[in-house]
Chain A
C-alpha cells in the first residue's frame, strides 16, 4: 500500500491510493478544512455579489455605472480618487509605521517603550473619531455653523485643507500607520540577532546593516502592511463621508453606501465588483513588484540576544519627530474627544462643562431625554454585545490564522495552498458595506434546514470573521513563515503526532504573532462601522453604530463619550495583550 502503484496500472486505482495517501498528510487535512470554511465565509458572498449583477436588473446597472451620463460622477471620478487615496495612504503608512517600528525595536532611542505604546494607539480609535478631531481644529466656515479652533482664531483655513482629498489622506495615514507599526514591530522583534551581528562583524556600517539586512528580512511584514493599509484606505467609508460631502468629494465607498442605502442594490453591487477588480489589479502588481514568496525563517531555535543600534547624535532629533507624530495622532484627538464629551454645547470646547452625558439621568430638554452613557441600559447592553463579538471573532480568527498559515507555508506551491491564499485575499477587496450587504443576501434567508441568520449575533460573528480574514491570513503567514521548518521536522522524526507538534512547537512559537493578530482583530471589530452598520438590529446593536448614529443626530457629546468608551476598551485590550505576550515567550527579550 505504501509503495506507489506503477503509473501504467489502472488509473483509477492509482488515483485512489494517491488521494488516500494525501489525506494522511496533515497539510491536506487542515487545508481542506480551511478551504471549506473560507469557501463559506469568502467565496459564497463574493459569488452572490457577482451573481446579483448578472440578473436582468443587474444588466442595466452595469450600463448605468460604466457607460451612461451617470458614469463620470458615479464611477470614473470616484475611482481615480479612491485609487489615489489607497496608494498615498499605503505608502504614507508604511513610511511612518515602519520607520517608527525600526526606531522602537532596533535602536536605543530614549522613551522608546512609551513611543511604542503610543504608536499602537491610533488604530484603536475609530477613524471617524480622528475625523471629528480634525474638524474641531481645521474646520472652516464653508458649511456655516460651528468652526474649528484655527478659524475662530482668525486663521483663514483654505477649503482644500478643511475638506476633501488632503485631510482624508492625512487622517487615514494617521490612523493606519499604527497598523503597519504593529506588524513591522512584531516582525522586527522576532528577527534573530545573529543576522545583524554577522553584518557588523563583516564591517558594514549601521546604515548598511539596516538597509541591507534588516529591511529585506522584514519586507514581508512591510508589504503586508502596505497591502492592508491600501485595502483599508480604499474601502474606508466614515472619513470621506464626514469630510468629503461638503466639497462633493466622492469615493467609491461613499457612492457604494449611497447606492445600497437608497435601494439601488444592483448598482451598489456593480460598484463593489468593479472596486474588487481594481484593488485586485493593484495588489497583484504590488506583489509582483516586491517578489513576494521569498520568506525568511528567522525564528530558528538558535538563540541570541537582540542588540539595539546606538543612534548617537541622531538620537534626540528622531525622538522629537516620533514624539510629535504620536502627539498629533493620539494625544490630541483623545483630548479633543474627552473634552467634547463634557462640553455643555456641542462644539464649544471652552464653554460650560458638564458630566450629564456620562452619568446624567434623562432630561427631556437635552437630546430628547437620552440618558447618560454609563446609565443607559441600551448602551450597556450594546457594550456587552460588542465585547462578545470582539472576543468571538478574535478567537475564530486566530484559529483560522493558524490553519491558513500552516497550509500556505508548509504546503507552498500546492493547489490547496494557492486556493487558500486566494480565498483569504478576497475579503481584502470587498468594502465593508458591500460585504455586509452580501452577507444579508446570502445568510439573511433560511438555507434549507438552517435558519435565517438575519438579526442574530451569529451573523455578525461570521461577517466579522470574514472581514478580518486578511488580517488573520497575514498574521498567520508571516508568523508561520518565520518558524523554520527544521523544528517541526525534528519533531516528526522523533515520532510526534500532528496534534502534539501543534501544541508543543507550532502554537507556542507562533503565539506572539497570533496574539498580535488576535488583538488587532479584536480592536478592529470593536470599533468597526462600515461592516456592521447594515447588520445590526435594535436587539443586537453595537457601540460603534450607536456612536455614529448619535454623531449624525448631532448628539455629539454622547457620540464622543461612547467613542471614549470604545477607545478605552481597545486600549485595555492592547495593554492586556502586551502583558500576555511577555508571559507567553519569556525567552524573548522585552
Chain B
C-alpha cells in the first residue's frame, strides 16, 4: 500500500463521520431574530398568520396531556403541526440546558413545573423567555405572570383510596404518617429523582413552625429534635423515612399503589389531585385528603416559556396563547385537558369544575420558588443521608 493509499484509508472513517453530521440539518440553530418584541406585541390574527408561515412548533411538556392538546390545536389550526414531547420537568431542564450549550435549540415552547429550578437556573441564564398574551394580562394575577406565565396550578398532595375509606380521609394530621399504624404504608416518588417531590419536602422544611404546631396538636407535647436535625420540618422527613416510607420512581406507580380497586388495606401517598381524572379508565379510587393539618401538600405553577433561539417563535407564542384557553366559561378546547378537579386555572374568569374542591378547601401550601431554591440542595442532601 503506498503512502497515499494509507492516508486515504485512515481519513475514510473521518469523512464518514463528517458526512453523517452534515445530514442532520434539522438542529442547525435559527438565526436570532432582530428583536423578539414585534412578536410579543402582535395581535392574535397576526400571530396566527406568522405561525402558519412557520408551519410547525415543538413543545416540551411535563404532562402527557399534551397529546390531547395537540389534537385540538391541529383541529383549530390545520396548517400548523404541533409536535408535543412528554418529559418530566427534571429531564426538560437538563435537555434545555444541553441544547442551549450546543447552540441548537430544538424546542419552541417549554411547559414545565419545578418553578424553583426553572426560575433559578433557566430564566436567570436566559434560556426561557416570558410571553404573556395581551388578552390575558388582566385576568391573570401579576404573581403568575412573572418571571414566566403560568396557565394553572398543579398539586402534590396526600391522597387516599375512597373505596376502602368511604367516610373520608383516614389521615387528619401529617404527623400520623410517622406513627406505627402507617409504617410501610406511605408511598411517594423518590424526591431525589423528581424535582416536584423535592420541592414538597423543601416546603415542609420551610414551614417548620406550622409543622411544630401540628406535632403538638397531635401528641400534646412540644417536639424534641434528634441530633443533627435543625427544625420540625427536617424531623418530619427523618421520621417519615424511619417509618419505612415506600419510594417508587413515577407518579403512576404511586397512583396504582394507592388507588387500585379491590384492596383491603391500601396505603396512602403523595401525588397529584388531578390524577383523579383517570380513576375510571385505570380502575382507581383516588381522592384527595382535605382537612389535613397543617397542610396536605403543595400547589405549584405550571409554567409556559418561549425557548431562547426557538426555530418557530411565532408559533410558540400561538401555542402559549392556545394553552391559556379561550373566552368560554370553561376555558375552551385549549384548556380542556386541564379542566379537571385538581388543576386550578390562574385565570380568574374561568369557573371551576363541579365536584372539585377549591384550593382553600384542600389547604395546600403554595410554594415560594425563590425560598425553595435556596435551601433545596440542603434538603436533598438530608434525604440522601436518610436513604
User: Which of A's residues lie within 8 Å of B, judged by CB?
Assistant: 26, 29, 32-33, 36-37, 64, 69-70, 72-74, 142-146, 241-242, 245-246, 248, 250, 258, 260-263, 345-347, 362, 364-366, 368-370, 396, 399, 440, 444-446, 450-458, 461-462, 497-499, 534, 537-540, 549, 552-554
Contacts and interface: CB of A to CB of B under 8 A. Distances in A.
B283 interface: yes
A145 B286 CA distance: 12
B55 to A, nearest CB: 15
A32 to B, nearest CB: 7
B255 A554 contact: yes
A465 B86 CA distance: 28
Nearest to B283: A345
Q: How large is the interface on B (under 10, 10 to 19, 20 to 34, 35 or more residues)?
A: 35 or more
Contacts of A262: 90, 192-193, 195, 198, 380
Interface in B49-72: 58, 60, 64-65, 67-68, 71
B252 A365 contact: no
B356 interface: no
A263 B117 contact: yes
B190 interface: yes
A445 B103 contact: yes
A246 B248 contact: yes
Contact of A143 (B93, B103, B198, B253): B253
Contact of B385 (A70, A399, A554): A70
B76 interface: no
B103 A452 contact: yes
Given A258-B192, A497-B1, 9 more contacts: A36-B10, A37-B13, A144-B267, A145-B253, A263-B93, A362-B71, A368-B64, A457-B24, A553-B252
A539 B27 contact: yes
Contact of A142 (B9, B65, B103, B184): B184
Given A248-B247, A549-B86, A456 B21 contact: yes
A145 B260 contact: yes
A537 B95 contact: yes
Nearest to B18: A450
B252 A261 contact: no
Contacts of B387: 73, 248, 250
Nearest to A534: B94
B385 A69 contact: yes
Contacts of A452: 27, 102-104
Contacts, number: 184
A293 B24 CA distance: 43
B6 interface: yes
Nearest to A443: B102
B103 A456 contact: no
B249 A241 contact: yes
A553 B250 contact: yes
Contacts of A456: 20-21, 23-24, 27
Nearest to A378: B83
Nearest to A366: B281
Contacts of A73: 384-387
B13 A538 contact: no
Contacts of B256: 144-146, 347, 554
B122 to A, nearest CB: 11
15 contacts: A69-B385, A70-B381, A142-B184, A144-B257, A145-B256, A146-B256, A261-B91, A262-B198, A263-B93, A399-B13, A450-B18, A450-B21, A456-B20, A538-B83, A554-B250
A452 B18 CA distance: 11
A455 B58 contact: no
B101 interface: yes
A369 B67 contact: yes
B101 A146 contact: no
Interface in B11-66: 13, 17-18, 20-21, 23-24, 26-28, 58, 60, 64-65
B206 interface: no
- Most-contacted residue by chain A among B18, B28, B95 (CB, 10 A): B95
Interface string B115-129: 001000100000000
A70 B378 CA distance: 11
B85 interface: yes
Contacts of A462: 17
A69 B26 CA distance: 46
A499 B266 contact: no
Contacts of A440: 98
A64 B64 CA distance: 36
A29 B1 contact: yes
Contacts of B83: 538
Given A145-B257, A245-B247, A445-B102, A29 B381 contact: no
A36 to B, nearest CB: 7
A394 to B, nearest CB: 14
Contact of B257 (A143, A369, A540): A143
Given A451-B21, A454-B102, A537-B95, A552 B250 contact: yes
Contacts of A33: 9-10, 13
Contacts of A554: 250, 252-253, 255-256, 282
Contact of A369 (B6, B71, B117, B386): B71
B199 interface: no
B208 interface: no
A347 B262 CA distance: 14
A465 to B, nearest CB: 10
Given A368-B65, A456-B24, A498-B1, A144 B250 contact: no
A29 B6 contact: yes
Contact of B68 (A29, A368, A455): A368
A444 B95 contact: no
A422 B347 CA distance: 62
A142 B269 CA distance: 13
